Amino acid sequence: MARAYSINEILNKKYKLLDFRGAWFDAFGKPEARGVWFVYGNSSNGKGSFLYQLSMELSRNGRVAINEMEEGSAKTVQDTLSRHRMEDYAGKILIIDNEPMEELAKRLRRHKSPEFIIINSFQYTQLNYRQYIEFKEEFRSNKLIVFSSHADGKQPAGRAAKSVMYDADMKIWVEGYRAISKGRYIGEKGYFDVWPEKALRYWGERVPENY
């Protein structure tokens, strides 16, 4: 039987929050540092770059692992790390080369395993929705799990991915180099520009002269 809380117990409950600052705070506020996030979008819109920028921001709050199931340790990953100058994050961010979900679960069960795990992408996990729920329920109380997903138009690609989106605590749509919060956490601005100049041009907004 699940525990039942009184209203006052919920109101007085303390939560571990992410210490987002600057543009991250403006986009997403201060979300809870556990649960499931779902980042989706079409190719060539900045989704991959957003995930790596997110990993850097998350690393201020704890250790991060990126299970790079799509690109593994390919030259494209090296290029992304170089482009974002991530050499200073060597002790905080771990790149995992296409680890199956069963092995990833074993890794996350270890003592002092990373607090944050980014999985690129949900389609490559080959999980169905039931398997996703089992994975989520094991780790959601003490981990933040971020799934990326391909899109089919404006929706996640595949029935299971669409169900995961509806279940996720944070839904982030990436389009035109802009990561837009679709709930449940939304900052005052509500979006983060992955590549500001390209985002402004895509969305038809004025580009400052110093860009």
| C-beta neighbour count of 184 within 10 angstroms | 12
| Alpha carbon 44 to its chain's center | 17
Q: How many domains does the chain have?
A: 1
Phi, psi for 33 (deg, rounded to 5): -85, 35
Q: Tell me, what's the pLDDT at 205? A: 83
Residue 32 is classified by DSSP as: B
Residue 54 maps to a domain: yes
Using left for φ > 0, alpha for ψ between -120 and 50, and beta otherwise, residue 35 falls in left
The whole-number pLDDT of residue 99 equals: 97
Of 192 and 90, more confident: 192
- What's the domain range around 32? 18-202
pTM: 0.93
Please give the pLDDT value at position 209.
65
pLDDT score for 184: 81
Proportion of the chain above pLDDT 70, given as a percent: 98
Cα distances from 97 to residues 70, 116, 120, in angstroms, run: 9, 16, 11
Average pLDDT over residues 180-206: 92
Q: Please check the confidence at residue 210 and state whether its pLDDT lies above 70.
A: no
Establish if 209 belongs to a structural domain. no
Amino acid in position 203: W
* Mean pLDDT across 1-21: 91
Residue 112 has pLDDT above 80, yes or no: yes
Contact (Cβ atoms closer than 8 angstroms) between residue 127 and residue 154: no
pLDDT recorded at residue 3: 87
pLDDT of residue 186: 87
- Is 12 inside a domain boundary? no
Res 211: pLDDT: 55
If pLDDT is split at 50, 70 and 90, which confidence band does 189 have? Answer: very high
What mean pLDDT do residues 21-43 have?
97
- Whether residue 72 lies inside any domain: the answer is yes
pLDDT at 31 over 90: yes
Q: Compute the 3-state secondary structure of the chain and give helix, strand, coil in percent, each to the nearest 5.
A: 35, 20, 40
Largest CA distance in the chain: 60
Question: Is residue 23 predicted with pLDDT exceeding 90?
Answer: yes
* pLDDT value for 92: 95
* Burial track 78-100 (b if 16+ CB lie within 10 A, e otherwise): eebbeeeebeebeebbbbbeebe
CATH code of residue 149: 3.40.50.300
Bridge partner list, 191: 180
